């Protein structure tokens, strides 16, 4: 018995998905790593967007080896910074792949944002990406300014892991976490991993592939935040998921567990969205609305400190 493929009905997101597959085919994970990255770079370039007026960028290297990009909007109103960690299954993605997204978030939140170009698998398996992100996190926290950690997909996983490790190390300074359709280590044989196993944009088989490439220990709570036994004392969160996404329940369950642990959480499931809908924000009504709520949620986390 075959399961019908779950498909949204919003024309904008369907057009977005069709256009994506012209650049990044559904079976991309079967290609070489180099080919996957070339396809993804072309896809990201296709969905590039005009930079907000007055926003500046500055590229640096933390510790002389980890590339970061600093975004400064023209009208910064807070000392709090945003640390943004890009998605891409730990295999693809770069400073450039999420450049326009980072610029628009910084502009909307009126806050400085720093993004990272962490090492990618399979050349660099766990914990290389996590270690890079944590080194940049320490660098950002060193001057005492408040910080919001944020990321999408694999970046959402890393952002959640940063918050957990910072708590374990008794580090202060993280005032919020924004997790955008994050993969948090849920059971691949239950819930949305079954219901949305063949969803457009990301399948459960794709998730299994990325986990296998990363080679993170299955019981490591920093790699699989849903396995953390205690979520109390973590920073306030804005969490958003896509309904047509096998990762949906990771976000929903994590939000529920954070709330139960006494953490302040805002959670939204975007009803017509698929994985990676951030990139559809200029062609899909639902993605535009979701991005507006995301920027508002991050702005609330940033505050005016």
Dump pLDDT digits (tens) for 188-218: 999 999 999 999 999 999 999 999 999 999 9
pLDDT band at 305 (very low <50, low <70, confident <90, very high): low
> Which listed residue (99, 117, 206, 245) is catalytic?
245
Place 304 in a pLDDT band, splitting at 50, 70 and 90.
Answer: low
pLDDT at 52: 97
Domains of the chain and any CATH numbers: 23-302 (3.40.50.1820)
Is 275 an annotated catalytic residue?
yes
Across the beta sheet with 81-85, the strand order is 56-62, 66-72, 113-116, 81-85, 147-152, 174-180, 237-244, 265-274
Confidence band for 10, pLDDT divided at 50, 70 and 90: very high
245 is catalytic: yes
Supply 64's token pair. Answer: 């002389």
Q: What percent of the chain has pLDDT over 70?
A: 98
Where does the pLDDT of residue 4 fall: very low under 50, low under 70, confident under 90, or very high at 90 and above?
confident
**How far does CA 223 lie from the centroid of its chain?**
14
**Which of 153, 241, 284, 299 is an active site residue?**
153
d(CA 232, CA 253): 15
Mean pLDDT, residues 242-260: 98
Q: Which residue has the tokens 């996404």?
A: 245
- Within the chain, what is the greatest distance between any pair of CA atoms? 59
How many residues are given for the chain?
305
What is the DSSP secondary structure assignment for residue 278, as one 8-state letter?
A: G
Q: Report the 10 Å Cβ neighbour count for 105.
A: 25
Render the burial of 182-194: b for 16+ CB within 10 Å, e for the rest: bbbbbeeeebbbe
Which residues have CB under 8 Å from 213's CB, separation 6+?
89, 90, 91, 121, 122, 125
Summarize the confidence of residues 86-103 as an average pLDDT.
98
Residue 5: per-residue pLDDT: 83
Residue among 132, 250, 275, 299 flagged as catalytic: 275
59 labelled catalytic: no
Tell me the mean pLDDT in the region 56-71: 98
Percentages helix, strand, coil for the chain, rounded to the nearest 5?
Answer: 40, 20, 40
At 229, list the tokens: 């036994």
């Amino acid at each position: 018995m075959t399961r019908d493929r779950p498909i949204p009905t919003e024309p904008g997101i369907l057009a977005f998905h069709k256009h994506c597959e012209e650049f990044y085919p559904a079976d991309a994970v079967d290609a070489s790593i180099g080919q996957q990255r070339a396809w993804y770079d072309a896809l990201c370039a296709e969905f590039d967007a005009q930079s907000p007026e007055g926003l500046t960028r500055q590229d640096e290297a933390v510790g002389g080896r980890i590339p970061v990009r600093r975004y400064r909007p023209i009208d910064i109103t807070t000392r709090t910074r945003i640390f943004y960690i890009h998605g891409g299954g730990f295999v693809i993605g770069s400073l450039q792949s999420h450049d326009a997204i980072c610029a628009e978030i910084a502009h909307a939140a009126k806050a400085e944002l720093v993004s990272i170009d962490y090492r990618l698998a399979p050349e660099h398996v766990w914990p290389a990406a996590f270690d890079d992100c944590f080194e940049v996190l320490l660098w950002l926290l060193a001057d005492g300014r408040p910080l919001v950690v944020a990321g999408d997909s694999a970046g959402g996983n890393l952002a959640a892991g940063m918050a957990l490790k910072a708590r374990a190390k008794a580090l202060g300074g993280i005032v919020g976490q924004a997790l955008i359709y994050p993969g948090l280590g849920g059971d691949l044989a239950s819930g949305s991993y079954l219901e949305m196993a063949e969803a457009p944009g990301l399948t459960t088989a794709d998730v299994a592939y990325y986990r296998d490439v990363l080679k993170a220990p299955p019981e490591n709570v920093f790699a699989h935040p849903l396995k953390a036994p205690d979520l109390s004392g973590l920073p306030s969160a804005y969490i958003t998921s896509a309904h047509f996404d096998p990762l949906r329940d990771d976000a929903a369950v994590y939000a529920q567990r954070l709330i139960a642990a006494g953490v302040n959480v805002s959670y939204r499931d975007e009803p017509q969205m698929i994985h990676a809908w951030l990139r559809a924000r200029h062609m899909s009504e639902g993605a535009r609305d979701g991005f507006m709520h995301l920027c508002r949620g991050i702005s609330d986390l940033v505050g005016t400190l």
